Amino acid sequence: MRYLSTCAMTVALAVVLAACTSTDSDVTRLVSPTSSALTVTPPWGPETPNFNLEVILRGDPNGFGLVKFRQPNDADRIVYLDVWVRDLQPNSHYRLQRATDTNVNDDCTGTNWLTLGKGSVPQDIVTDAQGTGRAELFRNLAAFPVGSRFDIHFRVIDAAGTPVLNSDCYQFTVSQ
C-alpha cells in the first residue's frame, strides 16, 4: 500500500512538472519583453539627443550633489531641476547656477552664470543639520527655439557666492 501511494505521488508530481514547462520560456518573455511592451511613450523627453540629464556635482574636498534635469514631452518648454546636495555646511543656504555656450563640443567655456530657481525667481537650497538639502526648481526655455543645442555646466555657490560644487560639461537640446 505504501508503494502504491509513493507511485501515485511520483506520477502526480511528474504531471505537475510537465504542465509547468513549455518550449517558449516564460522567463525569457519576462526578461525580454516584446517590442509592443516597449512602445509606451514616457512622460519625459527621450534620452537622445540630450533632453534629460543626470548632472553630478562634486566638491573639493567634500560635498556631492545631483541635478535631475528633465523636460517633459509637451508643448511647454519648461525644464524641471530636482536638486539634491549632501556633505555641505549644516543649516546653510546655497544656490544652483548654470552657464552655457553654443559651441557644442563638450568644452564648457561659458561664464554667463545664471542663478536658477522657481522660474526666473532665484531659490535657495537649504541644508539641514547633517548638511543635506533638496530643492525643486524649474526654468522656462520658451525663449529658445526647439532644437537649440548648447554645452551646459552647473555649480552650487554658498551665500558669499563662492562655488562649493561643480559639474562636468554636458550637452542639452531644447525639445517640445
CATH number, position 105:
2.60.40.10
User: Is the domain of 59 the same as that of 25?
Assistant: no
User: Is the domain of 77 the same as that of 157?
Assistant: yes
User: Is the domain of 164 the same as that of 84?
Assistant: yes
Whether residue 127 is contained in a domain is answered as: yes
Q: Provide, rounded to the nearest whole percent, the portion of the chain with pLDDT above 70.
A: 71
Distance CA 102, CA 67 (A): 21
pLDDT band of 43, cuts 50, 70, 90: low
Burial group, residue 167, by CB count within 10 angstroms (0-12, 13-18, 19+): buried
Distance CA 37, CA 92 (A): 46
User: Is the domain of 106 the same as that of 67?
Assistant: yes
Nearest CA among 29, 63, 24 for reference residue 157: 63
User: Is the domain of 9 the same as that of 84?
Assistant: no
pLDDT band of 42, cuts 50, 70, 90: very low
- What residue numbers bound the domain in which 80 lies? 53-173
Whether residue 161 is contained in a domain is answered as: yes
Whether residue 43 is contained in a domain is answered as: no
CA atoms within 13 A on the CB side of 94: 33
Whether residue 121 is contained in a domain is answered as: yes
How many domains does the structure of the chain reveal? 2
Verdict on whether the full-model pTM lies above 0.85: no
Whether residue 44 is contained in a domain is answered as: no
User: Is the domain of 113 the same as that of 145?
Assistant: yes
CA atoms within 13 A on the CB side of 71: 25
User: Is the domain of 30 the same as that of 100?
Assistant: no
Q: What 3-state DSSP class applies to 90?
A: coil
CA atoms within 13 A on the CB side of 88: 29
pLDDT band of 1, cuts 50, 70, 90: low
Whether residue 48 is contained in a domain is answered as: no
Q: What is the grid cell recorded at 10?
A: 511520483
User: Is the domain of 101 the same as that of 160?
Assistant: yes
Whether residue 120 is contained in a domain is answered as: yes
User: Is the domain of 57 the same as that of 26?
Assistant: no
Whether residue 46 is contained in a domain is answered as: no
pLDDT at 72: 85
Nearest CA among 164, 74, 171, 170 for reference residue 127: 164
